[in-house]
A and B are shown apart, each in its own frame.
Chain A
């Protein structure tokens, strides 16, 4: 008891004031009755009013046990029953005249008194740790309110004091059930708080919504959908915790935007957590966009948005935002932004040089606490340089960029020897550099370190082996990978296997593999609606078109023209304009001796896809045979092909032929030499398909 402090409390009722000291003394002696009667006399109160005042006094004095004793003296249940008929003589007609004020006020006064007493009883029990009992008392308050006000509470219907008690009880009840560990009761209490009309003010409602959302999101207790009774036609009813939590958090965000409540950054954090777990970063981006300016720093918002868009696969939008936030007047040295920007740039040849800049800036800023990001920055630099090398304007430039790329990847792995992603990147980089032995070493190391859990590792190993012309070993690897892969993920491996069979001159087995692949692809299309299993490498899904096209190529190489035509027609049904299909058509025509039409097909293919290298080579090859007059054309077409794909063996070979026919023997020798060197190192599918 707070005896030391000088607190002068007084009672006030019926316009009379009275010091509490005397009553307090009586209470301290344990004389509740006497204290009560002196109050009744002094303030002309009835029994219940006196008790309620005493209880409140004890509660305020911190003597919750005393308060409980006082409240126990009141029969609150009968008090409630007495209240009901007096107020609810008839259900209030919708727009009826207001009832006589005086009677209304008196009843409300009595209701307020009783309800506050029960509420304080609940609070006292809570403070004593008797949580279940507290919750039950608190529930009594709400039950009583519902009995007294059938239609729920509307504005201006009740006085402030009664409204305060109601709001507090509404807020306290779910908390009590939670503290008592009764989660199901807590859930229904929360829903009761939010779905009935209690006339709560915005702040109170916001607090309850937030605390329920937090409960739903993190408690791990599945709430189950709300009962049918509260569901309204055509409105959205959440059916699990995440849905309900997200709905509540979005409503809270909306309230902030409408100015109904204050900005609370933690709401956005909860929403960020929930929506990113659902893969819905695109929806999250919309939420970030809706935040009013001035509530969070704009660079933070841009960066968060960039993450959202990048998570949703919209890298272009993400990069544009990062360019803003990395502008020299904003935060040009933010490491996360720099690294994300560099990564996005590393995926596109034409942004790679921009990415190199970001990565360099990241390296110079990876100091102190951020030292651990140095390896990653170097890795990004390596990836961007490697990508930039692909569009280099000269051989010299290309090899310079490639060796720089390898150098920074090597530096990165020295800093992060346990980063398996780096091992993979090095494997691909060396493979593209045609250092196949090193590539092989890294490919094997990658499979070891990841326990073979990633498909791209298996594919890298098989492709490197195929580039070394070790087809049967590549097939062993592919078979091992197939063993480790569930049926639906096998597409890319089967495609690889079919191509390996072709390389091993086993066309019948290749056809068999293609057939199996076709069945798989078609079954996949049928069996999954929107809920399909997400394949590990999403971009690398084999589609039906590819299979038909592969088969067409295969039959055409066997001169089975009829079969080839059927397969090609099937492929074209799925994709009408494609350079590959025109390419195949051309080779079929050429194979049957129809050189003019073949040339037309090749040229059409280039019209569809101007950078389609295989057709450029074929055009060059056809022209070189036509007449000496068109040799210069053939030469320029082939040079162009080599500019796009400098490691293309066939291009070098045909260019060599052109030089020879034109009488430039030295050039021809160089070309042939290049072609023969490259012959040893062509993978069966391009290494760049691995990224």
Chain B
């Protein structure tokens, strides 16, 4: 025991340094993904035509962004780089980038490399710069990768890897949200049916003012953060996820699938049929503390994945169901009452949605069919 007594302060200092100043990491692995043989390296597209829907400025931002991306990912399909010359367009070329499965999966797999979160990582820099361009369509492209970034970031914290690159991206999102909300909290006035409302009349109209309403804080006020302080980490990631949620209907399914995958990792899977050798691995599996400030936005996103698209996206529904089950298990383990209530209800709803495709649902908008056709 005596060796610990002498070394404890050392450990503490170590923890703080890994958080605040990541060690420089050589960037050797950024282009290790083999380029697809079918695609040719893109030539820089020229902008001679102006489109009606999109401003020149936005296009040039897109082009410079695509150019720097092409130095990281050599195999961007020409369909993306060349849509800029397409005249008929309210369709921003960034949206093609957003929905291009090949580029997305290449970026995702680069992000998953062991040292991808370092401060000098090209891809993190690209994501950061692209987000800071303040072009809404380009920002969507960055948001698309938030599930992977947040997922990897939080799971890698105990592994003491350099993470300044991820942190820069997450902080940029946090700062964006802080500015656009002016630091204000997001609140909800939970209705009380004894007051009349838009949709109902109250039997006994209460003369009291609306003070009886329950004010619920969905997301507390935001203070600016220049660095990720470890005790604010969950909050910063949570706010980034809130931003992701606000754009979630524009996100491609693959991004949401990645989110569901990381939910499982965060929850820490409850498998017990492994042998001893796996147990040491399990410790690094990525189970993280899940305080409410993180779990709440996670649940909102999962709610969308499960109920927002319905049975149309069966694959997503099933992935979300799996994630939700893991989080239910985790909420039980944490004996987190709110978490149990939210996950449990969502699982029941998901089950109903999955079963509903097997039974014939009555279509109330169909006319009644009879053999006597009359007017």
A residues engaging B (CB < 8 A)?
A: 7-13, 17, 20, 45, 49, 52-53, 56-57, 59-60, 109, 112-113, 116, 119-120, 123, 164, 168, 171-172, 175, 183, 194-195, 204, 207, 209, 214, 217-222, 226, 230-232, 234-240, 242-243, 246-248, 250-251, 254, 265-266, 268-270, 272-273, 275-284, 304, 307-308, 310-311, 318, 336, 339-340, 343, 371-373, 376, 415, 417-421, 437-438, 440-441, 444, 447-455, 461, 465, 468, 473, 476-477, 480, 483-489, 528, 530-534, 536
A residues near B27, Cβ cutoff 8 Å: none
**Minimum CB distance partner of A9 in chain B:** B371
If A340-B335, A477-B9, A531-B187 are given as contacts, then 19 extra A-B residue pairs at C-beta distance below 8 Å, sorted by A number, are: A9-B371, A9-B372, A20-B373, A195-B198, A218-B307, A235-B195, A243-B190, A268-B345, A277-B342, A336-B332, A336-B340, A437-B4, A441-B1, A444-B8, A448-B11, A452-B16, A465-B8, A476-B9, A488-B223
Q: Are B8 and A232 in contact (CB under 8 A)?
A: no
Distance to closest chain B CB from A576 (angstroms): 29
Q: Which of A52, A283, A308, A534 contacts B337 (CB 8 A)?
A: A308
In whole angstroms, what is the CA distance A551 to B198 when docked?
55
Q: Which of B13, B193, B268, B334 contacts A480 (CB 8 A)?
A: B13
22 contacts between A and B (CB under 8 A): A10-B371, A13-B374, A53-B374, A120-B367, A123-B365, A164-B368, A168-B367, A214-B307, A254-B200, A270-B349, A281-B337, A307-B337, A373-B333, A376-B333, A420-B289, A444-B8, A451-B233, A453-B233, A480-B13, A489-B231, A531-B221, A533-B221
**Minimum CB distance partner of A165 in chain B:** B367
Q: Are A234 and B196 in contact (CB under 8 A)?
A: yes
In whole angstroms, what is the CA distance A304 to B215 when docked?
22
Q: Which of B223, B344, B365, B373 contacts A12 (CB 8 A)?
A: B373
In whole angstroms, what is the CA distance A268 to B157 when docked?
38
Whether B358 is near chain A, meaning CB under 8 Å from some CB there, is no
Distance to closest chain A CB from B94 (angstroms): 19
Q: Are B190 and A283 in contact (CB under 8 A)?
A: yes
Q: Are A275 and B190 in contact (CB under 8 A)?
A: yes
* Residues of chain B from 218 to 236 with CB closer than 8 A to chain A in the complex: 218, 220-221, 223, 225, 229-234
A residues near B349, Cβ cutoff 8 Å: 266, 269-270, 273
A residues near B365, Cβ cutoff 8 Å: 123, 168, 171-172, 175
Q: Are B332 and A373 in contact (CB under 8 A)?
A: yes
Q: Are A417 and B283 in contact (CB under 8 A)?
A: yes
B residues near A11, Cβ cutoff 8 Å: 372-374
Whether B329 is near chain A, meaning CB under 8 Å from some CB there, is yes
A residues near B359, Cβ cutoff 8 Å: none
In whole angstroms, what is the CA distance A183 to B248 when docked?
13
**Minimum CB distance partner of A445 in chain B:** B11
Binds A, one of B29-37, B136-144, B296-304: B296-304
Q: Which of B231, B372, B375 contacts A52 (CB 8 A)?
A: B375
Pick the 4 closest A-B CB pairs, nearest first.
A451-B157, A311-B337, A372-B270, A236-B197
Q: Are A418 and B372 in contact (CB under 8 A)?
A: no
**Minimum CB distance partner of A336 in chain B:** B332
Whether B87 is near chain A, meaning CB under 8 Å from some CB there, is no
In whole angstroms, what is the CA distance A10 to B346 when docked?
49
B residues engaging A (CB < 8 A)?
A: 1, 4-5, 8-9, 11-13, 15-16, 19-20, 157-158, 184-185, 187-193, 195-200, 210, 213-218, 220-221, 223, 225, 229-234, 245-249, 268, 270, 272, 279, 282-283, 285, 287, 289, 291-293, 296, 299-300, 303-304, 306-308, 329, 332-335, 337-338, 340-342, 344-346, 348-349, 352, 364-369, 371-375
Q: Most chain-A Cβ atoms within 10 A of its Cβ — which of B13, B272, B352, B368? A: B272
Q: Are B8 and A236 in contact (CB under 8 A)?
A: no
**Minimum CB distance partner of B195 in chain A:** A236
Distance to closest chain A CB from B309 (angstroms): 9
Q: Which of B200, B216, B285, B342 contacts A273 (CB 8 A)?
A: B342
In whole angstroms, what is the CA distance A154 to B147 when docked?
51
Q: Are A343 and B335 in contact (CB under 8 A)?
A: yes
**Minimum CB distance partner of B156 in chain A:** A451
**Minimum CB distance partner of A304 in chain B:** B341
B residues near A183, Cβ cutoff 8 Å: 249
From DSSP, what is the main secondary structure of chain A's interface residues?
A: helix
A residues near B234, Cβ cutoff 8 Å: 453
Q: Which of A239, A449, A487 contacts B189 (CB 8 A)?
A: A239
In whole angstroms, what is the CA distance A135 to B268 when docked?
46
B residues near A488, Cβ cutoff 8 Å: 223
Q: Are B191 and A222 in contact (CB under 8 A)?
A: no
In whole angstroms, what is the CA distance A231 to B196 when docked?
11
How many CB-defined contacts (below 8 Å) exist between A and B? Answer: 314
Q: Are A13 and B375 in contact (CB under 8 A)?
A: yes
Q: Are B308 and A238 in contact (CB under 8 A)?
A: no
Q: Are B231 and A480 in contact (CB under 8 A)?
A: no
Q: Are B249 and A219 in contact (CB under 8 A)?
A: yes
In whole angstroms, what is the CA distance A274 to B220 when docked?
17
**Minimum CB distance partner of A447 in chain B:** B15
**Minimum CB distance partner of A373 in chain B:** B332
In whole angstroms, what is the CA distance A13 to B375 when docked?
6
Q: Are B341 and A272 in contact (CB under 8 A)?
A: yes
Q: Are A371 and B341 in contact (CB under 8 A)?
A: no
Distance to closest chain B CB from A543 (angstroms): 20
In whole angstroms, what is the CA distance A516 to B274 when docked?
52
Q: Most chain-A Cβ atoms within 10 A of its Cβ — which of B246, B333, B372? A: B333
A residues near B299, Cβ cutoff 8 Å: 273, 277
Q: Which of B270, B306, B374 contacts A218 (CB 8 A)?
A: B306
**Minimum CB distance partner of B348 in chain A:** A269
**Minimum CB distance partner of B247 in chain A:** A220
B residues near A476, Cβ cutoff 8 Å: 9, 12-13
**Minimum CB distance partner of B280 in chain A:** A417
A residues near B306, Cβ cutoff 8 Å: 218
In whole angstroms, what is the CA distance A525 to B300 when docked?
31
**Minimum CB distance partner of B228 in chain A:** A484
Q: Are B198 and A236 in contact (CB under 8 A)?
A: yes
In whole angstroms, what is the CA distance A485 to B210 when docked?
37
Q: Are A440 and B367 in contact (CB under 8 A)?
A: no
Distance to closest chain B CB from A54 (angstroms): 9
B residues near A487, Cβ cutoff 8 Å: 223
In whole angstroms, what is the CA distance A647 to B323 when docked?
47
Q: Which of A13, A284, A372, A484 contacts B229 (CB 8 A)?
A: A484
Q: Are A49 and B375 in contact (CB under 8 A)?
A: yes
Q: Are A480 and B345 in contact (CB under 8 A)?
A: no
Q: Are B199 and A247 in contact (CB under 8 A)?
A: yes
In whole angstroms, what is the CA distance A218 to B223 when docked?
28
A residues near B8, Cβ cutoff 8 Å: 440, 444, 461, 465, 473
In whole angstroms, what is the CA distance A225 to B225 when docked?
31
**Minimum CB distance partner of A221 in chain B:** B249
A residues near B367, Cβ cutoff 8 Å: 59, 116, 119-120, 123, 164, 168
Given A234-B196, A251-B193, A486-B229, A123-B366 contact (CB < 8 Å): yes
In whole angstroms, what is the CA distance A593 to B261 when docked?
70
Q: Are B198 and A237 in contact (CB under 8 A)?
A: yes
In whole angstroms, what is the CA distance A171 to B272 when docked?
49
In whole angstroms, what is the CA distance A343 to B337 when docked?
11
In whole angstroms, what is the CA distance A51 to B298 when docked?
55
Q: Are A246 and B249 in contact (CB under 8 A)?
A: no
B residues near A217, Cβ cutoff 8 Å: 303, 307
Q: Are B337 and A417 in contact (CB under 8 A)?
A: no
Given A207-B364, A266-B352, A449-B158, A311-B200 contact (CB < 8 Å): no
In whole angstroms, what is the CA distance A502 to B282 when docked?
44
Distance to closest chain B CB from A21 (angstroms): 12
Given A235-B195, A311-B341, A220-B248 contact (CB < 8 Å): yes
B residues near A45, Cβ cutoff 8 Å: 375
Q: Are B15 and A448 in contact (CB under 8 A)?
A: yes
Q: Are A486 and B191 in contact (CB under 8 A)?
A: no
Given A13-B374, A272-B342, A461-B12 contact (CB < 8 Å): yes
Distance to closest chain A CB from B339 (angstroms): 8
Q: Are B342 and A484 in contact (CB under 8 A)?
A: no
A residues near B11, Cβ cutoff 8 Å: 444, 447-448
Distance to closest chain A CB from B300 (angstroms): 6
